[in-house]
Amino acid sequence: MRVVLGISGGIAAYKTPDLVRRLRDIGADVRVVMTPNAARFVTPLALATVSEHGVIVEQWGDPERGGVDHVELARWAELLLIAPATANVLAKLATGIADDALTTYALAHRAAVVVAPAMNTFMLQHPTVQQNLATLRARGVVVLDPDSGLLACGDEGAGRMPDPPAIAEFVKHHLGAKDLGGRSIVVTAGPTREPIDPVRYISNRSSGKMGYALAEAAARRGARVTLISGPTSLTPPAGVDVERVTTAQEMRDAVMRAMPGADVIIKAAAVADYAPAEAAASKIKKEASGEALTLALRRTPDILAEIGALSPKPFVVAFAAETDAVEANAREKLLRKNADLIVANDVADASIGFDADQNEVLVIARDGTATKIARAPKIVVANRILDLLAK
């Protein structure tokens, strides 16, 4: 594995010597490119020592040796990993500015790119930063969502660079053997919406982030992936076939169309359990309905149970979003729906619940064994789930 580690000028740069060591532990050959501001937080000498290669800080290279460093490096690299990626560097990557060695190299780089944003939580939430991240994702850049917690500035929230072991683990899967090659995997993600009238609907809370992360990770590990997505604001992963649906019935029909030839189905979607028995053709007026409105509800299709009853059936990975008795409820659902694995998470914990960028789950198999996956960015959790699936 040939990795260029780009380091920009944030406090999280102090973690990068450990990150280099972790990358080397998984078999990566690491070359470092730093911005001048990054050198204020960690010395090039420290990084040269742990990487056993010279470190590029200046844009113009070595005039005595000749050659153009960023072009030569681009021919060599399999991955550009920028960690930490500051708001400044993300903006330059999104707009094509090349005013230092790192951003100049980024324009020459033609292989995979991964960025690990790290900054104050209010900076991270700024619309411009979010727009730049969306632009990069649309170009196929993988974004490792930052951790949440106490930041160096004293604020608390999202913005911490993921720990070096988690980043190294992601890189291992990203560049490692395609252990799901030849497999066909169907992933469902996001919520469904069941119309009450043309402007109102019943839905379940779901951002779709976990399902999208699973689809992305499976595709990068060589699988042919079909992502069946309810309404979300997420950018679909590269290399994945996407079918968009709205209602539970539409999701059921799309899943059944995708089933022939599927080896695995991962049911990460939050499908509404009930829908209005009859949707009104026009908007229901408050004045006409009075102080109270009674809705008659019907059950929606139980997609998971229908798949579990098939013979033969694909390998089924179910999800259980629980607020209490998480393990007990998940074990009961695993057996009742005839799934092969079930992934349970405690959505009562807001830090790993709806819309969170991190997750922490318990994966239970048919034989009763349970594996806890510790809190990590959802793309890392996705790869750990796929490790268990691959076994």
Domains of the chain: 2-175 (3.40.50.1950), 184-390 (3.40.50.10300)
User: Percentage of residues in the chain with pLDDT exceeding 70?
Assistant: 95
Question: 365 and 341 in contact (C-beta within 8 Å)?
Answer: yes
Backbone angles phi, psi at 44, to 5 degrees: -60, -35
Q: For residue 335, what are the CA distances in angstroms to 12, 340, 372, 373?
A: 44, 9, 19, 21
Task: Tell me what the mean pLDDT of segment 224-238 comes to.
Answer: 92
What's the pLDDT score for residue 381?
Answer: 92
More confident residue, 173 or 70: 173
Question: What one-letter code names the amino acid at 310?
Answer: L
pLDDT number for residue 246: 97
Interval 3-13 mean pLDDT: 95
Strand order of the β-sheet with 29-34 is 55-56, 29-34, 2-7, 79-85, 112-117, 142-143
Q: What is the pLDDT of residue 160?
A: 84
Q: What is the pLDDT of residues 144-167, one digit of tens each?
A: 888 776 666 666 667 789 889 989
Which pLDDT does position 63 carry in this prediction?
47
Q: Is 94 designated active site?
A: no
pTM, 2 dp: 0.76
Report CA torsion sign: 107, 111, 112, 114. Answer: negative
Rounded mean pLDDT of 268-284? 93
Mean pLDDT of 288-301: 86
pLDDT at 178: 85
Q: Kindly state the tokens that stand for 255.
A: 């899943």
CA–CA separation, 12 and 18 (whole Å): 11
Do residues 167 and 22 touch, judged by C-beta distance below 8 A? yes
Residue in the structure block whose two tokens are 């980024």: 106
Predicted confidence at residue 153, as pLDDT, reads 66
Active-site position among 138, 153, 325, 370: 153
Torsion of CA 149, 154, 156, 159, to 10 degrees: -70
Which residue has 């020459």 as its token pair?
Answer: 108
Q: Both tokens of residue 35? A: 């911005």
